[in-house]
Amino acid sequence: MGNADSTRWNDHVKARTVEQCMQLEITVFTERDLLRGPLTGGTLTLGTDLRLGVVIDTTGEHERLLGLQWQVTDLLGTTQTFEQWIVLTYVRPTRGTAAWRFQCPSWRGDESCGRRAAKLYLPSGDRTFACRQCWGLVYRSSQASGTYQASYRRMVGQAKEAGIALADAGLDLDAKDGAKALRDLVEGR
């Protein structure tokens, strides 16, 4: 799926993180027992301001059909309405407990993803909910490599010993540039 919103980061495309997305969790429906029926509808708010109109068709035996509708107003004040239908399946694993799962509704060409997921994601600026794999999302904590994290921790330790106030240095420590600047700073003293 598109990654036009990904930002460049030291010549690597920095993957979007799950934290940057609206997250639709299956528990929203199961905890309120909304999948048992009869036909339910209502509104659901995700994050601070994404209001979803929701319809659930509960007539299927092992499946439910979830209809979502929402509106997004862009910076120019233009409002667009989006709609998406998502199938929910009751999964009975050979081990573990049975549970409801979304079937990822994403399409690539003629093939649908169909992965069973407990969460679907809507990246900011995009118009469909899909699974983490379809959007290529990573968790923020996994974005830095192990090596980078180890050297980063070592440098932070050195900086503390050297009495460098990081806030004063104005470093963005989440970026590799920040780590390099920190290294220069520590080694330069």
Q: Which two tokens stand for residue 93?
A: 């694993």
Under rule CB under 5 A, residue 115 binds Zn ion? yes
Only segment of 90-98, 115-123, 139-147, 165-173 that touches Zn ion (CB under 5 A): 115-123
Residue type, 99: A
Only segment of 19-27, 68-76, 101-109, 152-160 that touches Zn ion (CB under 5 A): 101-109
Under rule CB under 5 A, residue 134 binds Zn ion? yes
How many CB atoms are located within 10 Å of the residue 24 CB? Answer: 24
CB of 122 to Zn ion, least distance (A): 13
CA 14-79-28 angle, 5° bins: 65
User: Rounded CA gap, 87 and 29, in Å?
Assistant: 13
Residues 6+ apart with CB under 8 A from 6: 13, 14, 15, 16
Under rule CB under 5 A, residue 131 binds Zn ion? yes
User: Rounded CA gap, 68 and 51, in Å?
Assistant: 10
User: Rounded CA gap, 122 and 22, in Å?
Assistant: 5
Under rule CB under 5 A, residue 1 binds Zn ion? no
CB of 24 to Zn ion, least distance (A): 13
CB of 115 to Zn ion, least distance (A): 5
Under rule CB under 5 A, residue 22 binds Zn ion? no
Residue type, 23: Q
Residue type, 20: Q
Number of residues near Zn ion (by CB under 5 A): 7
Under rule CB under 5 A, residue 122 binds Zn ion? no
User: Rounded CA gap, 161 and 1, in Å?
Assistant: 46
Only segment of 42-50, 54-62, 100-108, 173-181 that touches Zn ion (CB under 5 A): 100-108
With respect to Zn ion, which residue has the nearer C-beta, 104 or 179? 104
CB of 52 to Zn ion, least distance (A): 19
Binding residues (CB under 5 A) for Zn ion: these are 104, 106, 113, 115, 130-131, 134
